[in-house]
């Protein structure tokens, strides 16, 4: 980085990133047993040296019919207790805590049938984006803030961070992202059952990836707000500042190109061609000093939206990734997203 301002932002960003001292380097695993949970039984837990080929076949099949891959049975047990919505995830995991979805409901006084599912960033606590939901209420938009898989209330007791959502276990990461995407669509189902017809999704960082893929597979979404954007899931994990512990877990077992293929099934790049024809308008938020979602990755998304002639707007933040959550950038970001939602939802 060159220039005083860029160096100042970078120092601040790295200071914020160093606050978390509980990052763990976990061992590499192909995670083929998780593919069987998704419905690919031809790849046993012990794949006898064929794990890479098994994963590749699985990804190819999932991409060929992503509607089926992201399909699910309707939820039957929604329960709203004051502002807390819970329901059983349509996707099962070995962890009972993770399989109950938790969401907080922020109804606006006069919402005109407008509501957003809100997805905070990776490792967000239970209060993440609560302030943003309240700000959305000021704009007349109701918000359902969902806890993604393995986060906060859904975290297994052996974890301190949401490591099972993004890790060097290739198959488990696919399973976790699929679960969060399907849970998001189940939240849209609940909002629709409550009479909301003007629906949108807002996601930040990891939540942005989940929001983008859910939007691509659900034509009910009229506004997609993607707060920090990247084309490929693996690019961020391999090169981002906040995921270097995950990167170290891979060791020499896979190359960046191989991981990009394996995780293409949970990457926005694979589904942008589904956006044309959907009645969705998108807001793409990016930061030119970002060392987690590197600027070149965000520019790939911006270029793709332009080439595909998708209706969208761009919000450029004069900061990086962690610094987005601090004044004045959090207000620039929050107000920009709320104004977009108020205009297009």
Q: What is the pLDDT of residue 316?
A: 98
pLDDT of 87 over the 90 cut = yes
CB 265 within 8 A of CB 69: yes
CB 83 within 8 A of CB 105: yes
Interatomic CA distance for residues 97 and 335, integer angstroms: 34
pLDDT tens across 278-313, in order? 889 999 999 999 999 999 999 999 999 999 999 999
Nearby residues of 250 by Cβ (< 8 Å), 6 or more positions away: 28, 168, 238, 259
Q: What is the pLDDT of residue 259?
A: 98
Return the structure tokens found at 134: 């309240």
pLDDT tens across 22-63, in order? 899 999 999 999 998 888 766 655 555 688 999 999 999 999
Phi, psi of 18 (to 5 degrees): -85, -5
Return the structure tokens found at 308: 């595909």
pLDDT tens across 13-22, in order? 999 999 988 8
- Output the DSSP codes for 218-258: -TTEEEEEEES--S-HHHHHHH-GGGHHHHHHHTTSS-HHH
- φ/ψ region of 152 (left if φ > 0, alpha if ψ in -120 to 50, else beta) reads left
pLDDT of 139 over the 80 cut = yes
What are the residue ranges spanned by the domains of the chain?
Answer: 4-344
Q: What is the pLDDT of residue 111?
A: 86
Q: Which pTM does this prediction carry?
A: 0.96
CATH topology for 4-344?
Rossmann fold (3.40.50)
Q: What is the pLDDT of residue 338?
A: 98
Interatomic CA distance for residues 38 and 33, integer angstroms: 9
Question: How open is the CA angle 301-120-210, to the nearest 5 degrees?
Answer: 45
pLDDT tens across 225-239, in order? 999 999 999 999 999
Cβ–Cβ contacts within 10 Å for residue 225, how many?
A: 30
Q: What is the pLDDT of residue 39?
A: 81
Q: What percentage of the chain exceeds 90 in pLDDT?
A: 90
Return the structure tokens found at 237: 């994990």
Q: What is the pLDDT of residue 252?
A: 95
CA dihedral 187, 188, 193, 196 (to 10 degrees): 130
Q: What is the pLDDT of residue 47?
A: 55
pLDDT tens across 253-273, in order? 999 999 999 999 999 999 999
Local structure of 105: helix, strand or coil: strand
């Amino acid at each position: 980085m060159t220039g005083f301002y860029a160096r100042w932002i970078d120092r601040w960003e790295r200071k914020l990133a160093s606050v978390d001292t509980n990052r763990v380097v976990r061992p590499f695993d192909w995670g083929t047993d998780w593919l069987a949970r998704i419905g690919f039984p031809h790849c046993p837990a012990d794949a006898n040296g064929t794990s890479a080929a098994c994963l590749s076949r699985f990804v190819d099949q999932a991409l060929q019919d992503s509607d089926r891959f992201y399909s699910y049975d309707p939820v039957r047990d929604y329960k709203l207790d004051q502002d807390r919505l819970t329901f059983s995830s349509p996707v099962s995991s070995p962890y009972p805590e993770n399989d109950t979805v938790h969401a907080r409901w922020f109804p606006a006084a006069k919402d005109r049938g407008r509501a957003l599912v809100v997805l905070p960033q990776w490792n967000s606590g239970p209060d993440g984006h609560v302030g943003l939901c309240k700000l959305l209420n000021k704009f007349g938009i109701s918000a359902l803030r969902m806890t993604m898989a393995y986060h906060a209330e859904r975290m297994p007791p052996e974890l301190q961070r949401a490591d099972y959502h993004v890790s060097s276990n290739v198959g488990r990461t696919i399973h976790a992202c699929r679960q969060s995407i399907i849970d998001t669509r189940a939240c849209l189902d609940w909002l629709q059952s409550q009479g909301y017809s003007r629906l949108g999704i807002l996601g930040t960082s990891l939540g942005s990836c989940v929001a983008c893929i859910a939007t691509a597979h659900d034509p009910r979404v009229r506004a997609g707000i993607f707060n920090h954007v990247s084309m490929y899931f693996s690019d961020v994990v391999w090169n981002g500042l906040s995921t270097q512990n995950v990167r170290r877990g891979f060791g020499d077992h896979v190359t960046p190109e191989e991981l990009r293929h394996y995780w293409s099934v949970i990457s926005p790049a694979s589904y942008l061609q589904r956006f044309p024809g959907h009645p969705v308008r998108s807001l793409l938020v990016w930061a030119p000093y970002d060392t987690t979602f590197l600027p070149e990755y965000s520019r790939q998304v911006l270029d793709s939206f332009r080439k595909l002639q998708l209706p969208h707007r761009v919000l450029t933040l004069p900061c990086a990734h962690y610094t987005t959550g601090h004044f004045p950038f959090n207000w620039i970001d929050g107000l920009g997203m709320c104004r977009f939602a108020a205009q297009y939802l």
